[in-house]
C-alpha cells in the first residue's frame, strides 16, 4: 500500500476546529499506522488573522480568504466547523461542486439541507460525512447507517443536548432551581451567555431531524418537530418526579407505528432504572430499537473540543481509507426513503404528569377527576401534598395521567382551570414511554 | 448503480444461523434499498439433514457436505456460525484461501487465531469480519476500528457475558443465592446445562482478547488473561456491596499505563451510580476511554438469535457495499501493532473487598489491621456485623482495602488466616477502578 497524504482545508478554528487540529497532531502516529496514510491540515480559514488562539498552529496555515481552500486544487477534503447556516452552507456547496469531500459538524445546515447536500455529493462523486453533528464524539450516525443498517428501526430516543442535561442533573442532584442551575452551567462553560438555542430545544430538534433521516430514511424539518424547552421545570417537579420513581430529562424522541412517525423534543419523566436516567451532566446518549438488534444505546460526551474532534477525525479516516482502497465515490443515500411512505404525525399519545394548585375543600378532587374522565383520560397515580407558605390556602395536587394526546389533555386542563377552586395548572410534563 | 446479488453460504443453522437467515428474509427490502444489492443465502451446511428446525428454509438449500459451500464458485461470502474451534477454523481458512469473504460470530476462533486469519484475508484480498463475536448486536468492534479509530485508547471495560450478568442481576435484585439464580437462568434459556464456559469466565476472556486486539493493537492470548468466575459470589457479598454503594458485575477489563497493559476477567464491585451498574440481566455494555473522545459506552443485547444476526448481517452489508463500490480488498490490519510495544503485565493494582469470620474478642481487629499495614495495604472502610445463627460464635468482618496487587493481598491474607481467632477468609472481590 503506497503512502499518500490527504490534504485538508479547515473552515473555522474555534472549539471544534482547534480540537480537530490538536487531535490530528497528537494522534498522527496512530492515524498513519492504522490507515497507511497521513492527514495534513494545509489551510485554516479564520475571520480575524490577528486573533489570539488557544491552540497554536503555524502562521502560514491561516488565511481569511475562503478561496484559498475552496479553489485550492491541492485540497482533498474540506472540514467545515464554522457553525451557523451562512456562509457554512455556501462553502460546503462550493466545495462539493469543486469535487472536494466534505466533513462537517454543522447540525443546523445538515438538518436543513442534508438531503440536498447528500444528493449533490452523490452527483459529484464525493463523500459527505457529519458524524459530529449529533452526539459529539458518540458514533451514532455511523452505527445506524453501517453496522445496524439492516434493522428496521421503530424508535430512536436520546439525550442529545449537554447543556440542558447538565442543568437538569444539577437540579435533580443538588435540589436547585432552574435559574441557579443555569447560572452554574454558564460559570462552568456548559451554557452560553444566551442559552436560548439549548434550553428551548432548538439545538435538539436539529439533531433529532438528522437522527430521523438516518434511522427512518424520512425527512422531518426541524421546525415541524413539536418542541418544548426546560425553562418551566421547577425544583418541585424534580422532587415529585423522584417520589414517583422518575427523573426529568430533555428527550428527543421519534417513534414509528406502522407507517406513522411521531416525534418530539420535550422534557419527559424517565424511570430511574432506565439507562437514560443514569446519563448525567454533559453526557449524551442515544437509544435505538431495531427489529433485530432490539435495544441498543450509545453513550458519551456530546460536546467539547476533543470529543467532537474525535468524530470529525473519524470521518476523515473513513475518507482516507476510501483513498487507500481507490474508491472515494461512497456517499450513501440515507436522507430519503422512497419505499417507505411514513406519515409524520406530531407527537402521538403519552402519559402525563400534571400538577395544579386547588383550594382544600370537599368535592374538588371528584370534580377534577370527572373532567379527566369525561375527556377519556385515566388517573394512574395521585398525590395531594399539604399546603405550604408558598402555596397559601391552596394545596398542590400531583397527577400521573394515562395515555392521551396533548391536545385532548390541554382541552381537559382548560376546563379544569375554569373551576373557581383551581388557582393554576403549574406543570405539564410527559412521561416517557420507554419500552423497558 | 447496477443491481447485484451477493451469494452467501451459511455454515451452521443453530440459534445465530437461524437468526441471520430470518433477518435477511425479514429485512430484505431495507437491505436492497439501502445497499442497492440483494443478499441471498444459497447453501446452508448442517450436520443432520433430517433434524427439525425452528426457522424454516427451502429444503434444497441444506447440505451436509461443506464442499458444497467451500468449493462452490458461485458463493461470494461464507458466514461461519458453527461455534467451537474445529472444524470452524478449518472451514474459514479454506474459504479465505478460496477467495471468499468470511463473516463469523466465533469468539473462540478469533481470540485464538484472529491475527493469522486477518493476515490470510489481507494476503488473499478478501474481507474478514467478526462483529458478532463480541457483544452480540452491539457494534463495538466497528466503532473502535472506524469512527473512534484515531483515538489512542487507555481503557476498555465491559460486561460481555449475558449469562453471568443475568445471574448477578437476579442475585442483586431478588436477594438470591448463586445456585438458585443459576437454576433460574437455565430455566429461562439464559444459561446452558453445563454453564462452565460462561460462569467461569472462559467466554469473557475470549471476548476481552478480541477487544484488546481491536482497541490496543496487541494480542494477549485468552489463556494469559487472569480469570476468575462468579461461582463464589454469595448473597451476603451482594448485600454488603449494596451497603457500600456498589453492585457486583463480572467485568472484562483492560487498561494501559504508558507501555504496560493490565487486564483481567473477574467479578468486581461497580459503584451504583456508574452506567455499567445499570446494565441488567442479559444486556451487555462495553465502556472505552479514548484520548480524544473520553468515555464512550455501547449498550445492547449481547446474545440471542436476532441481535447476533443483526451483527452478522451488518458485516454482510459492509461486504455488499464494498462490492457496490468495486472494492472488496478491505481487511484492515488491527490485530498487531508494530509501533507500540505494550508489555502485558497481568491485572495490576486494585482496591479489594474482603470478608472474613473471626472470633469476637479484644485485640482481633488490631492484629488484623497490623498485618494489612505491614503489607502496605490501607483499610478504606470497615464494618463489623453481629454474629448470626450461620456464623456461630464468629463475627463477619467486612473490609474495603486500598490499592494493592493481588499477590501482595494474598500474602497478607495467608498471614491473617494463620491467626487462631480467624475461622476463614470468606470473600475477596476487587473494587473496579472506574475513573468516574
Query: What DSSP designation does A143 have?
Result: H
Average pLDDT, chain A: 91
Which of these is catalytic: A112, A207, A249, A371? Answer: A207
- In percent, the amount of chain B with pLDDT more than 90 equals 75
Q: What is the pLDDT of residues B37-49, one digit of tens each?
A: 889 999 999 999 9
Catalytic status, residue B112: no
The answer for B 251-290 residues in CB contact with A (under 8 A) is 273-275, 277-280, 283, 290
8 Å CB contact of B300 and A301? no
Please give the average per-residue pLDDT across A197-222, as a whole number: 94
The count of residues in chain B is: 436
Q: Looking at the domain that runs over B141-301, which CATH code has it been given?
A: 3.30.360.10
8 Å CB contact of A321 and B307? no
8 Å CB contact of B146 and A298? no
Would you state the CATH architecture of domain A4-133+305-324?
3-Layer(aba) Sandwich (3.40)
Residues in CB range of B219: below 8 A, 6 or more apart: B114, B115, B209, B212, B213, B335, B336
Q: How confident is the model at residue B386 (pLDDT cuts 50, 70, 90)?
A: confident
Which residues does chain A have within 8 Å of residue B26's beta carbon, measured at their own beta carbons?
291-292
B306 at interface of A, judged by CB pairs closer than 8 A = yes
- Give the range among A247-256, B69-78, B342-351, B371-380 with minimum mean pLDDT: B342-351
Q: Are the CB atoms for A275 and B278 separated by under 8 Å?
A: yes
Q: Are the CB atoms for B331 and B360 separated by under 8 Å?
A: no
Q: What pTM was computed for the model?
A: 0.91
Which residues does chain B have within 8 Å of residue A151's beta carbon, measured at their own beta carbons?
27, 30, 310
- SS3 for A376? coil
Q: What is the pLDDT of residue A66?
A: 97
B324 at interface of A, judged by CB pairs closer than 8 A = no
B38 at interface of A, judged by CB pairs closer than 8 A = no
Backbone angles phi, psi at A9, to 5 degrees: -105, 130
- If you search the block for the grid coordinates 467451500, which residue do you land on? B70
Report the C-alpha gap between A281 and A166 in whole angstroms: 4
8 Å CB contact of B151 and A27? yes
Residues in CB range of A146: below 8 A, 6 or more apart: B139, B142, B146, B314, B317, B318
Which residues does chain A have within 8 Å of residue B31's beta carbon, measured at their own beta carbons?
149-150
Nearest of A105, A327, A208, A258 to residue B322 by alpha carbon: A327
Asked, colleague to colleague, whether B141-301 and B350-430 share their fold, the answer is no
Q: Where exactly are the structural domains of chain B?
A: 4-137+305-324, 141-301, 350-430
Superfamily of domain B350-430: ACT domain (3.30.70.260)
Q: Kindly report the three-state secondary structure assignment for every residue of chain B.
A: CCCEEEEEEEECCCHHHHHHHHHHHHCHHHHHHHHCEEEEEEEEECCCCCCCCCCCCCHHHEECCCHHHHCCCCCCEEEECCCCCCCHHHHHHHHHHCCCEEEECCHHHHHHHHHHHHHHHHHCCCCEECHHHCCCCCCHHHHHHCCCCCCCEEEEEEECCHHHHHHHHHHHHHCCCHHHHHHHHHHCCCCCCCCHHHHCCHHHHHHHHHHHHHHHCCCCCHHHCCECCCCCCCHHHHHHHHHCCEEEEEEEEEEEECCEEEEEEEEEEEECCCHHHHCCCCEEEEEEEECCCEEEEEEEECCCHHHHHHHHHHHHHHHHHHHHCCCCCCCCCCCCCCCCCCEECCCCEEEEEEEEEEECCCCHHHHHHHHHHHCCCCEEEEEECCCCCCCCCEEEEEEEEEEEEHHHHHHHHHHHHCCCCEEEEEEEEEECCCCC
Q: How confident is the model at residue A192 (pLDDT cuts 50, 70, 90)?
A: very high
Average pLDDT, chain B: 91
- In percent, the amount of chain A with pLDDT more than 90 equals 75
pLDDT at A1 over 50: no
B302 at interface of A, judged by CB pairs closer than 8 A = no
User: With a cut of 0.85, is the ipTM above it?
Assistant: yes
| Structure-block grid coordinates of residue A393 | 390556602
The answer for B 127-166 residues in CB contact with A (under 8 A) is 131, 137-139, 142-143, 146-152
Cβ-Cβ contacts under 8 Å between A and B: the total is 217
Q: What is the pLDDT of residue A336?
A: 44
Q: What is the pLDDT of residues B342-371, one digit of tens each?
A: 677 766 789 999 999 999 888 999 999 999
Please give the average per-residue pLDDT across A65-72, as a whole number: 97
pLDDT at B195 over 90: yes
Please give the average per-residue pLDDT across B117-144, as a whole number: 93
The domain defined by B4-137+305-324 carries CATH number 3.40.50.720: yes
Amino acid at each position: 500500500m503506497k503512502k499518500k497524504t490527504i490534504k485538508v482545508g479547515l473552515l473555522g478554528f474555534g472549539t471544534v476546529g482547534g480540537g480537530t487540529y490538536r487531535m490530528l497532531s497528537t494522534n498522527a502516529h496512530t492515524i498513519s499506522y492504522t490507515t497507511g496514510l497521513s492527514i495534513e491540515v494545509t489551510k485554516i480559514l479564520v475571520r480575524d488573522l490577528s486573533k489570539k488562539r488557544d491552540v497554536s498552529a503555524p502562521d502560514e496555515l491561516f488565511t481569511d480568504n475562503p478561496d484559498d481552500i475552496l479553489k485550492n486544487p491541492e485540497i482533498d477534503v474540506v472540514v467545515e466547523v464554522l457553525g451557523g447556516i451562512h456562509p457554512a452552507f455556501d462553502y460546503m456547496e462550493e466545495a462539493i461542486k469543486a469535487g472536494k469531500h466534505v466533513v462537517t459538524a454543522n447540525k443546523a445546515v445538515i438538518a436543513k439541507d442534508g438531503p440536498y447536500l447528500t444528493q449533490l455529493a452523490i452527483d459529484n462523486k464525493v463523500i459527505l460525512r457529519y458524524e459530529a453533528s449529533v452526539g459529539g464524539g458518540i458514533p451514532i450516525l455511523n452505527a445506524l447507517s453501517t453496522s445496524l443498517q439492516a434493522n428496521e428501526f421503530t424508535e430512536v430516543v436520546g439525550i442529545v443536548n449537554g447543556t440542558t442535561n447538565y442543568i437538569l442533573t444539577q437540579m435533580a442532584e443538588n435540589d436547585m432551581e432552574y435559574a441557579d442551575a443555569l447560572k452554574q452551567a454558564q460559570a462552568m462553560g456548559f451554557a452560553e451567555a444566551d442559552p436560548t438555542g439549548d434550553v428551548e430545544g432548538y439545538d435538539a430538534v436539529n439533531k433529532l431531524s438528522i437522527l430521523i433521516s438516518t434511522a427512518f430514511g424520512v425527512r422531518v424539518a426541524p421546525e415541524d418537530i413539536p418542541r418544548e424547552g426546560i425553562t418551566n421545570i421547577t425544583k418541585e417537579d424534580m422532587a415529585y418526579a423522584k417520589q414517583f420513581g422518575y427523573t426529568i430529562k430533555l428527550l428527543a424522541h421519534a417513534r414509528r407505528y406502522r407507517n406513522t412517525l411521531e416525534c418530539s423534543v420535550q422534557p419527559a419523566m424517565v424511570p430511574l432504572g432506565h439507562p437514560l436516567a443514569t446519563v448525567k451532566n454533559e453526557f449524551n446518549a442515544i437509544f435505538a430499537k431495531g427489529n433485530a438488534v432490539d435495544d441498543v444505546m450509545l453513550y458519551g460526551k456530546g460536546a467539547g473540543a476533543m470529543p467532537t474532534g474525535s468524530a470529525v477525525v473519524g470521518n476523515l479516516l473513513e475518507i482516507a481509507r476510501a483513498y487507500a482502497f481507490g474508491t472515494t465515490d461512497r456517499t450513501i443515500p440515507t436522507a430519503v426513503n422512497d419505499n417507505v411512505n411514513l406519515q409524520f404525525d406530531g407527537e402521538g399519545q403519552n402519559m402525563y404528569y400534571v400538577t395544579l394548585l386547588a383550594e382544600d375543600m370537599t368535592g374538588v378532587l371528584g370534580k377534577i377527576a370527572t373532567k379527566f374522565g369525561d375527556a377519556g383520560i385515566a388517573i394512574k397515580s395521585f398525590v395531594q401534598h399539604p399546603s405550604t407558605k408558598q402555596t397559601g390556602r391552596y394545596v398542590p395536587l400531583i397527577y400521573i395521567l394515562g395515555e392521551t394526546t396533548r391536545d385532548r389533555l390541554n382541552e381537559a386542563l382548560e376546563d379544569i382551570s375554569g373551576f373557581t377552586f383551581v388557582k393554576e395548572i403549574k406543570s405539564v410534563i410527559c412521561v416517557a414511554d420507554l419500552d423497558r
